[in-house]
Structure formats: structure tokens, C-alpha cells
Amino acid sequence: MDKKLLIVGNWKMHLSVHQSSLLVHRLGERIAHHRDVEVVIAPSMLALQPLSVEIDRRRFRLAAQDAFYKDEGPCTGEVSFAMLGDLVHYAIVGHSWRRLNAGDTLDVVRDKVQAAIRNGIAPIICIGETKQERDAGEAKQVIHDQLTTALMNLTSKDIENVVLTYEPVWAISTADGIIAKPHDAESMISYMRSQVQELYGERAAKNMRVLYGGSVNEHDVRSYLELPEVDGVLVGAASLNYHQFAEIVRVAHQLQTERK
């Protein structure tokens, strides 16, 4: 596989602007520029602007954690993808926390994906089932519904910029602390690719970058990254610790080097 591995740190609602600058500085001291690994940081909305001047853009790219689906208007308190166009390469869309707590319905996620693409931002779309849905045997149906609505009305050109993430909601650190086995991740990600193939053909499915977005740390990340279906990871808690996140990037680079 000659795709770069994509390692995304989702800082969620943590760190002040000052703490964010400090963390980026520490990461800069520990993470080298690798041609085979792309490192993306998703700080709070407030920290995006200062970090965009502080980061070494050869080594790090920025992602928003969310944005609003309209480009402008009376939407008080919102920030649009149009406003973020100059600052970020990526935006996380449909993170499970937002789907469950902030009104990101299937249709809202679809509109946000389209707004991101319209403004030249690559959406990192999170897709995954809750524990209840999994226990009820509905996991594939949920993934099918989330994936097909999120990708609705996109052209095959648009699709080239989309990144998907399988985020088993039951396997993130804020949930029950259960870990998804690499095998679980692989079979769901294969299923996601088969859906993309049905909608956009074999080439799109093969080229699509699909990340694993359940909990990982520096010790177990290799077992996910070495799966042929997995093109990277969306890291939560471990991305707030510079030792752990730098180590995750190092493991990714080592794996790529071994593959050559």
C-alpha cells in the first residue's frame, strides 16, 4: 500500500490556547517530518488561528473538530467551514459525541460534509455504532445508514478528498473502556469499503482513506495500523500526551519503513 498513514489527534474540548501552543511545541520537538506519515492535529476552534502560524506545516496539518453547515448568516455562535478555509486542511464531521449530544443527525452530518467539500476542506467523517446498537445486531445497518447519507450527492471527484473513520462508540475512552479487537475493526472497515464500492466503484473504495477511531495508545496502535484495511487512526486521549502521541507517530513511520 503506498498511501500515507494518517494520524489525527482529536484534542476534543481540552487545553487553553496557551496549553495548545505548548503541546504543539513539545510535539514539534519530538515528531520529525516523515514522507510516509501525515500528522494532523484537531485543537479547539479557538486555538486554530494561533496554531496555524506556529506549526511547521511540513510536519503538521490542522483539522477543525466541527463547523456549521451554512457558509454565513444569522447563526449566532457558529463558525462556518467558509471561515475555516484558510486555516485547516481537514475537519472532523459527525464525531459520535456530536451525533449523540449536539444534534448532529444524519441530515446535519450530510450537510456538513457538503459544506466542507464546497469550501475545499477534506471531511474526516466518523461512522460507528453504539453498544446498544451492536448488542441488538444493528451495527451494519447503522453504518450503512450513516455512510450512505454522509456521502449523498457527492461526485466521484469530491469523494477523493473524503476520509472515513470507523469509530465504534462502545470502544472510545469516554465510554465503557472496552477495546475493539483489531479483527472487529477490520471487518467493519471492510464493510465500509464495500459500501463505498457499491456507491462509487472499486477504485474509489480502494483509494479511500479509512481510519480506525476507537481508543488506541502507543502500545496497541500497531495492531490496528498493520491491518491492510486501515489507513490511520483518529486518536483522542493519547493525543493530549506528547510522549504517547509522538510514539504513535513513530510506530506508524516504523511500520511504513518495514513495508518498503
Where do contacts with ligand 13P occur on this chain (CB under 6 A)? 10, 95, 172-173, 213, 215, 234-238
Give the C-alpha separation, 24 to 60, whole Å.
9
Residue nearest to ligand 13P (CB): 236
CB of 235 to ligand 13P, least distance (A): 5
Residue 106 — left, alpha, or beta (φ > 0 → left; ψ -120 to 50 → alpha)?
alpha
Decide whether 10 or 21 has the Cβ nearer to ligand 13P. Answer: 10
In the complex, least distance from residue 2 CB atom to ligand 13P, rounded to whole angstroms? 26
Runs of H (alpha helix) within 34-181: 45-54, 81-84, 96-101, 106-118, 131-135, 139-150, 156-159
State which residue, 230 or 238, has the beta carbon closest to ligand 13P.
238
Which residues fall within 8 angstroms of residue 159, CB to CB, at 6 or more apart?
151, 196, 200, 204, 208
Measured from the CB atom, the residue of 151 and 234 that comes closer to ligand 13P is 234
Nearest residue (CB) to ligand 13P, 104 versus 200: 104
φ and ψ of 162, to 5 deg: -85, 140
Just list the catalytic residues.
95, 167
> Among 196, 201, 212, 128, which Cα is nearest to 162's?
196
Sign of the Cα torsion 147, 149, 150, 154 reads: positive
Strands 209-212 and 163-166: parallel
